[in-house]
Each structure stands twice: as C-alpha cells, then as structure tokens.
Amino acid sequence: MEDKTFTISVYSENNVGLLNRISGIFLKRHINILSLNVSESEIENVSRFIIVVETTEKWVKNIVGQIEKQIEVIKAFYHTDEETIYLENALFKIASSLLFDEKQIQNIIKDSQSTIVTVSRDFFVISKSGRRSEIEELYEKFKPYGIMQFVRSGRISVSKEKMEISTLLETFK
C-alpha cells in the first residue's frame, strides 16, 4: 500500500484533553499531522476536528478506530482528497510602499484572486483562500518583494457525499 493524503473528520463533545489524546494516537504510530483544525460543527454542542495526514489506508483505518474509542468522540471518518472539497486560508503582510511602487504586486493580487484586507501607512494585508499549492505559489511570487508576516490555516473540508453523522444524530433527537 502506498501513502496517500487523508482527511480525518472527528465529531466530538468539546472536552478538555481530547486533542492531547488524539494527537497521542498519531505520536504512538509515528505519523505526522500535516494540518489540524478544530471548530464548531453543523450540530449544536458538537465540535469537528479536521486532521490531514499522509499514510496508508490500512493505518488511517486503524487510527480512526482508535480515535472512536475515545469516550467524547461521537464518530470519526476518513476521506481521500477526491472525496472532499477543501480549502486553506492564508494572510500575507507586506510593506505598503510596494503596493504603490511595484505595479507587479497589483497584478499578482489580481491574478491570484486574492483580497486586500487592510491597508495602513506601513503595511497591507492580503487574504487568499484556496488549495495549498495555490497559496504556496502566491508565497513564492511575493517572496522576492519581502513578506513581513505570513500565516496559513489548517485545512477545512466537507465531504462530497452525505456524512453518516447526520443520520446517526437524528436518532438521538
């Protein structure tokens, strides 16, 4: 079996210590977490973890099984990239003088479908949503001009197919 990128979705109660126990499951297996995002889910009082890993399907099945053994976990799923719609977000902070002095900067912003979030005397901030490769490409284009600060979010994703969690939780209503 070859390594592939998998997105693991974990629906859980929002309890202290769960993230530590989940990350321990990956640590024990020497599997690196490429991206992690935790937020509210579509279900009231239920959190959703989005964890991106590169491993084999055998290992990801094993990991999801271990995650589901955690008391607070309601259900965990894994999907390949082809089975999900996903994005990351990034912010770039760049010196304001470049916005006005370097015409190429304006072209880069326009061509990358980025958005200027704020402009001040000293800096401006650009927001970009997209695939990791699109954000990395934009980073490489801005790099020669000098990036004052850069931050990228973890992956957010939804599955293309209906998640079993919706049906499962309807039985508890």
Q: In terms of domains, do 19 and 52 share one?
A: yes
Q: In terms of domains, do 72 and 125 share one?
A: no
Q: What total of structural domains would you count in the chain?
A: 2
Q: Is residue 170 part of a domain?
A: no
Range of the structural domain that residue 62 is part of = 4-85
83-112 pLDDT tens trace: 999 999 999 999 998 887 788 898 999 999
Q: Is residue 171 part of a domain?
A: no
Pairing of strands 123-130, 84-95: antiparallel
Q: Is residue 33 part of a domain?
A: yes
- How far is C-alpha 65 from the geometric centre of its chain's CA atoms? 22
DSSP result, 111-126: HTT-EEEEE-SSEEEE
1-57 pLDDT tens trace: 789 999 999 999 888 888 899 999 999 999 999 999 999 988 888 899 999 999 999
The CATH number of the domain where 32 resides is what?
3.30.70.260
The CATH number of the domain where 148 resides is what?
3.30.70.1150
Q: In terms of domains, do 10 and 81 share one?
A: yes
